[in-house]
């Protein structure tokens, strides 16, 4: 056997042993024998660098240093899930689904592991890229660190597709977490608080050899790609196992909601026996074609629902109520609590939402309150222990003036929150608007974070987001924690933001009620900031999904002289305030005023491409057929009830070819 064959043979053998140990949990050789074979391979690879393989088992020990984790876009967006907390929530969800799809609906039930979400890309069976969830549209490339996780296959086996993504959760098992903490305590260091945050933090360590020392695990559950060889979610889990992935065995195919609830009730009790943290169940429509029919809302898939186990609850003392001012001037009351451990973290603060909530629960300083984590993320006060209340306590008087600038607060009729109207001079509003402007989903300015924005404002270098484009390196270097390199990176990041497309700039401006989705719709409809600026309230409400409240907010924003001046400055600095010519070239108004429903399987373009073509040509995509639908684009396997409904309403049913002809 020559050297190359020997190296390849060792790699193959070590991959198999690694799979047996970390995925199947059935080792066939001792740790000592495995280490000896690994050492032999390391020596051969060192002596023969010409046979280097980026996915060799020897790279599991790490050693690569990543100074800056590159932000990369996801090929397929990583959506968040809607949450449910009761049988009734799931029943309502099932009713919504049954109205929208044809045929019997079955469900795949899976445990919802609590870790750090990850997307892995495989090309020709090799791990190409590992990216954190980030904001769902883009995340950080942590490939070097993920390669050290022994249960992540570096080379697949079987009949895997040539290119696909697989989603999962990187977790830290309780046993490994306890061992890590025991070692830290022995060294006189602070123990880590909980496995989830420790797993997430591990992915961003600069030295991958440090990550390799942590007993991280990767549990996978979702395949994404074009024309994958699977028809159901449950089948996709089996396929992923065949290809070498660690897919939890606890999944169940449920024929109806009763079987879903059986699964929920079983795991609500038995979850405490699991080796990992879990905070609920994920229920998915099993049939992938039905998933496609159901589609997505702006934030989550309509075909999946997370059922959260009842949140852990504790009681503690509310020491003081303070008030925070947001970027829009909204006032949020905050409960400052006697520190208490809750679901693995120390909780010191909880949101009280607004004056109505304080009055409704009769919350007072000095009260003993019940705290739980809503969705196990944000702590909230759910009640007061009145048996512990001081008989001399007084009801809470909500503040009438801004805690930051002293301006009298106002509250619009029908709104729950109080606002500070002093947008121009109230420091948290100034800082908040700039922080929103630079955020990831907006201008995504590299080298500039929230703390640095505060530093720049407090030092008088900027007062609004247009000022960023006038910053010079020599102004930044003297600031605290700044140096030549960080100043250079910041200026480069600000310059690069001039290429951010118009719809994201529009979102970045921070117009109240104009979120990502609304910004896209407005940018697409008006195409330039000047056209939007001149639109009346009445005109705005004719745009798809733009209601009176949003229209009033947009008109109010452009009525401000200061906002107009800021926008003119941004325009002069080269920020994108209109849709690019290249993008416009791909858009027409051919389908303007027409609403389409897409149903079935297509051969020439994918369902997502079809929807994009509709929108790029001025049409609207709807998920269900109604009297407002103009066309149903029907592919193979179109549901019979959709066909019947379209015919009964007199809606035109056209083929994929008919549609492509319409826009050609």
Residue 59 has pLDDT above 80, yes or no: no
169 marked among binding-site residues? yes
Write out the residue range of the structural domain in which residue 537 sits: 502-584
Are 129 and 229 members of one domain?
yes
pLDDT for res 601 = 82
The question of whether 112 is a catalytic residue gets the answer yes
Residue 67 DSSP code: S
426 marked among binding-site residues? yes
Are 577 and 603 members of one domain?
no
Are 226 and 130 members of one domain?
yes
**Tens digit of pLDDT for each residue in 127-167?**
999 999 988 888 999 999 999 999 999 999 999 999 999 99
Instruction: Give the lowest-confidence range in 15-19, 141-145, 201-205, 299-303.
Output: 15-19
Residue 1 has pLDDT above 80, yes or no: no
pLDDT for res 407 = 96
**Tens digit of pLDDT for each residue in 495-506?**
999 999 999 999
Number of H helices, E strands in the chain: 25, 20
Q: What is the DSSP string of 514-552?
A: --HHHHHHHHHHH-BHHHHHT--HHHHTTSTT--HHHHH
Residue 324 has pLDDT above 70, yes or no: yes
Q: Which two tokens stand for residue 507?
A: 């979102």
Dist CA 130 CA 434 (whole Å): 31
Are 490 and 509 members of one domain?
no
128 marked among binding-site residues? no
Residue 599 covered by a domain? yes
110 marked among binding-site residues? yes
Are 294 and 222 members of one domain?
yes
Per cent of the chain over pLDDT 90 is 57
Q: Which member of 12, 37, 46, 112 is catalytic? A: 112
Per the structure, the count of domains in the chain is 6
284 marked among binding-site residues? yes
| Summary mean pLDDT of the chain | 90
Are 488 and 506 members of one domain?
no
Instruction: Give the lowest-confidence range in 55-69, 70-84, 343-357, 360-374.
Output: 55-69
* 90 or 277, which is more confident: 90
133 marked among binding-site residues? yes
Residue 76 covered by a domain? no
Domain final position from 560, 584, 608: 584
Are 494 and 510 members of one domain?
no
Rounded to whole angstroms, what are the CA distances from 279 to 139, 177, 423? 23, 17, 40
pLDDT for res 516 = 87
109 marked among binding-site residues? no
Residue 654 DSSP code: E
Q: What Rg, from alpha-carbon coordinates, does the chain have? A: 28
Domain final position from 558, 584, 610: 584
402 marked among binding-site residues? yes
**Tens digit of pLDDT for each residue in 564-616?**
999 999 999 999 999 877 777 677 888 988 999 998 888 888 888 898 899 88
**Tens digit of pLDDT for each residue in 176-226?**
998 988 888 888 888 887 888 899 999 999 888 899 999 999 999 999 998
Domain final position from 392, 420, 448: 420
CATH number at residue 46: 1.10.287.610
Are 293 and 236 members of one domain?
yes
CATH number at residue 446: 1.10.150.20
pLDDT for res 62 = 66
312 marked among binding-site residues? no
* 193 or 262, which is more confident: 262
Are 88 and 176 members of one domain?
yes
Dihedral of CA 6/7/12/15: which sign? positive
Dist CA 293 CA 637 (whole Å): 11
* CA angle in degrees (0–180, nearest 5) for 641-643-645: 70
Closest by CA to 625, choosing from 656, 599, 607, 662, is 599
Residue 264 covered by a domain? no
Are 575 and 602 members of one domain?
no
| Residue 606, phi then psi, degrees to nearest 5 | -75, 165
CB proximity list for 655: less than 8 A, separation 6 or greater: 633, 634, 635
Q: How confident is the model at residue 376 (pLDDT cuts 50, 70, 90)?
A: very low
Query: pTM for this structure?
Result: 0.73
Region 524-536 average pLDDT? 93
Are 165 and 119 members of one domain?
yes
Are 150 and 197 members of one domain?
yes
Residue 559 has pLDDT above 60, yes or no: yes
Residue 265 covered by a domain? no
CATH number at residue 215: 3.30.470.30
């Amino acid at each position: 056997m020559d050297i190359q064959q020997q190296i390849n043979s060792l790699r193959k053998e070590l991959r198999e042993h690694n799979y047996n140990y970390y995925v199947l949990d059935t080792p066939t050789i001792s740790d000592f024998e495995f280490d000896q074979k690994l050492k032999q391979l390391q020596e051969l690879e060192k002596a023969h660098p010409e046979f280097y393989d980026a996915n060799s088992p020897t790279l599991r020990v790490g050693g690569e240093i990543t100074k800056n984790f590159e932000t990369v876009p996801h090929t397929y967006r990583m959506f968040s899930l809607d949450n449910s907390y009761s049988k009734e929530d799931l029943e309502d969800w099932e009713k919504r689904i049954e109205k929208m799809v044809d045929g019997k609906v079955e469900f795949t039930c899976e445990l919802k592991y609590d870790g750090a979400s990850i997307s892995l890309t495989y090309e020709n069976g090799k791990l190409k890229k590992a990216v954190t969830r980030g904001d769902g549209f883009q995340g950080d490339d942590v490939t070097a660190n993920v390669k050290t996780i022994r249960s992540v296959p570096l080379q697949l086996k079987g009949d895997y597709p040539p290119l696909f993504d697989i989603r999962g959760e990187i977790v830290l098992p309780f046993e490994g977490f306890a061992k890590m903490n025991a070692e830290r305590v022995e060294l006189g260091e602070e123990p880590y608080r909980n496995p989830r945050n420790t797993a997430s933090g591990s992915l961003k360590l600069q030295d991958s050899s440090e990550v390799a020392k942590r007993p991280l695990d990767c549990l996978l559950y979702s395949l994404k790609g074009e024309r994958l060889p699977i028809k159901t979610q449950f089948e996709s889990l089996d396929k992923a196992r065949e290809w070498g992935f660690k897919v939890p065995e606890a999944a169940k195919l449920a024929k109806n909601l009763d079987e879903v609830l059986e699964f929920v009730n079983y795991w609500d009790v038995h979850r405490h026996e699991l080796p990992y943290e879990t905070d609920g169940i994920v229920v998915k429509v099993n049939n992938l074609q039905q998933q496609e029919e159901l589609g997505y809302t702006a934030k989550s898939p309509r075909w999946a629902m997370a059922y959260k186990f009842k949140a852990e609850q504790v009681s503690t003392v509310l020491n003081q109520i303070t008030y925070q001012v947001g970027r829009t001037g909204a006032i949020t009351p905050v409960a400052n609590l006697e520190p208490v451990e809750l679901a693995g973290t120390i909780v010191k603060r909880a949101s009280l939402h607004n004056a109505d909530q304080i009055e409704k629960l009769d919350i007072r300083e000095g009260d003993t309150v019940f705290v739980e984590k809503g969705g196990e993320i944000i702590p909230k006060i759910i009640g007061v222990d009145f048996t512990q209340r001081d008989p001399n306590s007084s009801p809470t008087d909500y503040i009438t003036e801004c805690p930051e600038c002293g301006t009298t607060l106002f509250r619009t009729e029908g709104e729950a929150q109080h606002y500070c109207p002093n947008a121009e001079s109230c420091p948290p509003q100034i800082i908040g608007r700039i922080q929103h402007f630079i955020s990831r989903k907006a201008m995504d300015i590299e080298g500039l974070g929230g703390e640095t924005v505060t530093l720049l404002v407090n030092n008088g270098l900027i007062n609004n987001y247009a000022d960023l484009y006038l910053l010079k390196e020599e102004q930044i270097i003297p600031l605290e924690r700044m140096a030549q390199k960080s100043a250079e990176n910041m200026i480069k990041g600000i310059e690069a933001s001039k290429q951010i497309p118009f719809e994201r700039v529009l979102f970045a401006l921070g117009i109240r009620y104009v979120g990502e989705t609304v910004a896209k719709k407005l940018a697409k409809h008006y195409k330039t900031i000047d056209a939007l600026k001149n639109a009346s309230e009445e005109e705005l409400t004719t745009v798809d999904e733009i209601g009176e409240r949003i229209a009033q907010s947009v008109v109010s924003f452009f009525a401000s002289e200061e906002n107009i001046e800021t926008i003119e400055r941004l325009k002069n600095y080269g920020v994108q305030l209109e849709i690019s010519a290249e993008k416009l070239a791909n858009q027409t108004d051919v389908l303007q005023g027409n609403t389409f429903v897409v149903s079935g399987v297509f051969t020439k373009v994918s369902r997502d491409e079809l929807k994009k073509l509709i929108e790029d040509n001025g049409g609207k995509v709807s998920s269900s057929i109604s009297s407002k639908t103009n066309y149903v684009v029907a592919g193979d396997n179109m549901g019979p009830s959709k066909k019947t409904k379209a015919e009964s309403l007199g809606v035109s049913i056209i083929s994929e070819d008919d549609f492509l002809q319409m826009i050609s």
